[in-house]
């Protein structure tokens, strides 16, 4: 029996800045974020679904389990994002010394295959569902190539979806189980490479496939919180509504990433509550007008900025918490941005927050700009955590950005604020009950 290890390498949830890391690690309000960050690696368990039944597949999440270097694997595959990549390369180097075939995939190696090739025997460039079947065939025929690329003209069509091997997660006590229903994004935000890697058009699984996956999850993990790990879950409003009508009977609790436009659709919000939505994650990015300018290709977020507060109020009035994400230290941010953001967070009564610094990930417009302006301070990928400052800010000093970020977090999570947030959560729970009773 052939044996393959699918490894998700350890990352660094809150960065390497000791003061910030210590504070965030001890802050209970950030635990929901930690649970999101340390959820299962969906890419790996999807690839696992491609292997013939007579292969032994080990899924190893290094955040929870040690890697067994003694086990005689035939292939070791690692999927890694940028901040995990240094660790990923170290793991690969160790397995290579043991003469085990090593394969690397994921966003970082898709953008920088030449770098990945210096470590792994085989580099996967693009979407796993497209390239792995060919690799498996080649492996079985003894003709493995050095690099496998998908043809970006023919991106993976979700009708041919593969049910991820959710059974491989049984050994882990994940609080959240992820499912993906869409890929692609038209916004092309300066700090994100989703549009480049997955294309600018949305692709979505059909509802029957999504329901099949949800049923599988529900059967194996009846109490799990399901995260729709899409960049935007509601891109096809009509089909999303149909899906949620079906989900009402399933009795699941779920959360999703989306944008503020859902606040304008009461029918959608009602269906979300009925089908078990607990909270949504929305990338507001900034509340500073000039910083949103040209952040995305169409200034979509800038246009919606004046309605941010009302949108949050509306969504939360349905008993659905809004978890807002922000980036501090954008080029138009001066030191006033800390107070501006803090006031917005307090006034809008956001259910939860996550605030990070601009990170010039490979493949992003931000990296190109920082490179041209000679403002990249750190090239060690392990510092590309979203909490470590690695570009020279434009309108403040590095120390002002670091200290301002820590102060902002401390102010948001001070005792009085936490108490207020807890009260607001209770209010949201009551609203939710009211909505549910009203609709019944």
Residues of this chain that bind ligand SF4 (CB under 6 A): 185, 187-189, 192, 194-195, 231, 283, 296
Q: Tell me the two tokens of residue 80.
A: 């890694």
Min CB(43)–ligand SF4 separation in Å: 16
Specify the DSSP class assigned to residue 181: -
Between 235 and 315, name the residue whose CB sits nearer to ligand SF4: 235
**How many CA atoms, within 13 angstroms, populate the side-chain half-sphere of residue 82?**
18
> Residue 187 and residue 192: Cα distance in Å, rounded?
9
Min CB(237)–ligand SF4 separation in Å: 17
Query: What does 200-246 look like in DSSP terms, one character per residue?
Result: SS-EE--HHHHHHHHHHHHHH-TTPEEEE--S-TTSSHHHHHHHHHH
> Residue 194 and residue 231: Cα distance in Å, rounded?
8
Between 96 and 203, name the residue whose CB sits nearer to ligand SF4: 203
Min CB(235)–ligand SF4 separation in Å: 10
Specify the DSSP class assigned to residue 142: T
Between 190 and 275, name the residue whose CB sits nearer to ligand SF4: 190
Min CB(302)–ligand SF4 separation in Å: 13
Between 296 and 402, name the residue whose CB sits nearer to ligand SF4: 296
E strand or H helix at 54? none
Could you tell me which residues are beta bridge partners of residue 58?
Answer: 5
Min CB(242)–ligand SF4 separation in Å: 24
**Structure-token match 């999850």, residue found:** 217
**Structure-token match 């000679």, residue found:** 374
**For residues 116 and 134, is the Cβ–Cβ distance under 8 A?**
no
Phi, psi of 16 (to 5 degrees): -110, -5
Q: Tell me the two tokens of residue 422.
A: 């807890």
Min CB(431)–ligand SF4 separation in Å: 28
**For residues 289 and 305, is the Cβ–Cβ distance under 8 A?**
yes
Min CB(326)–ligand SF4 separation in Å: 12
User: Residue 68's closest CA among 94, 50, 42?
Assistant: 94
Between 180 and 195, name the residue whose CB sits nearer to ligand SF4: 195
What is the Cα 120 distance to its own chain's centre?
25
Min CB(127)–ligand SF4 separation in Å: 16
Helix (H, G, I), strand (E, B) or coil at 149: strand
Between 185 and 214, name the residue whose CB sits nearer to ligand SF4: 185
Min CB(283)–ligand SF4 separation in Å: 6
For 69, 197, 396, the CA distances from 402, given in Å and listed in that order, are 39, 30, 10
Min CB(261)–ligand SF4 separation in Å: 12
For 38, 106, 388, the CA distances from 154, given in Å and listed in that order, are 31, 18, 37
Non-local (6+) Cβ contacts of 92 within 8 A are: 76, 78, 102, 104, 119, 120
Between 192 and 370, name the residue whose CB sits nearer to ligand SF4: 192
Between 231 and 333, name the residue whose CB sits nearer to ligand SF4: 231
**Structure-token match 């595959």, residue found:** 77
Between 258 and 278, name the residue whose CB sits nearer to ligand SF4: 258
Between 51 and 198, name the residue whose CB sits nearer to ligand SF4: 198
């Amino acid at each position: 029996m052939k044996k393959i290890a699918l490894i998700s390498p350890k990352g660094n949830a809150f960065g390497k800045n000791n003061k910030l890391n210590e504070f965030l690690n001890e802050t209970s309000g950030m635990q929901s974020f930690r649970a999101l960050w340390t959820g299962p690696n969906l890419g790996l368990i999807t690839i696992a679904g491609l292997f013939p039944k007579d292969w032994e597949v080990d899924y190893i999440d290094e955040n929870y389990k040690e890697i067994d270097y003694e086990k005689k694997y035939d292939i070791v595959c690692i999927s890694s994002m940028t901040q995990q990549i240094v660790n990923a390369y170290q793991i690969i180097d160790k397995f290579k010394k043991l003469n085990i075939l090593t394969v690397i995939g994921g966003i970082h190696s898709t953008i920088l295959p030449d770098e990945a090739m210096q470590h792994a025997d085989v580099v996967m460039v693009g979407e796993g569902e497209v390239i792995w079947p060919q690799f498996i065939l080649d492996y079985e025929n003894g003709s493995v190539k050095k690099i496998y690329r998908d043809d970006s003209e023919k991106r993976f069509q979700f009708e041919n979806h593969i049910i991820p091997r959710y059974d491989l997660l049984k050994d882990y006590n994940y609080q959240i189980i992820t499912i993906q229903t869409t890929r692609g994004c038209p916004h092309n935000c300066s700090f994100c490479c989703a549009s480049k890697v997955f294309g600018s058009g949305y692709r979505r699984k059909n509802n029957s496939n999504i329901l099949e996956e949800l049923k599988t999850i529900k059967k194996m993990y009846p109490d799990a919180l399901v995260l729709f790990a899409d960049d935007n879950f509601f891109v096809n409003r009509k089909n999303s509504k149909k899906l949620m009508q079906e989900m009402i009977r399933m009795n699941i609790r779920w959360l999703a990433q989306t944008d503020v436009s859902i606040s304008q659709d009461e029918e959608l919000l009602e269906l979300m509550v009925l089908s078990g939505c607990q909270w949504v994650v929305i990338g507001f990015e900034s509340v500073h007008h000039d910083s949103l300018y040209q952040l995305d290709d169409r200034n979509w977020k800038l246009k919606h900025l004046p309605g941010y507060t009302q949108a949050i109020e509306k969504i939360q009035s349905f008993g659905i918490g809004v978890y807002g994400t922000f980036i501090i230290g954008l080029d138009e941010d001066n030191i006033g941005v800390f107070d501006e953001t803090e006031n917005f967070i307090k006034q809008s009564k956001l259910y939860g927050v996550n605030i990070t610094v601009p990170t010039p990930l490979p493949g992003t417009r931000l990296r190109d700009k920082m490179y041209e302006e000679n403002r990249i301070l750190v090239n060690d990928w392990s510092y590309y955590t979203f909490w470590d400052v690695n570009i020279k800010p434009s309108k403040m000093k590095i120390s002002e950005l670091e200290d301002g970020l820590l102060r902002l977090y401390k102010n948001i999570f001070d005792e009085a604020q936490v108490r207020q947030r807890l009260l607001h959560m209770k209010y949201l729970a009551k609203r939710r009950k009211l909505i549910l009773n009203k609709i019944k």
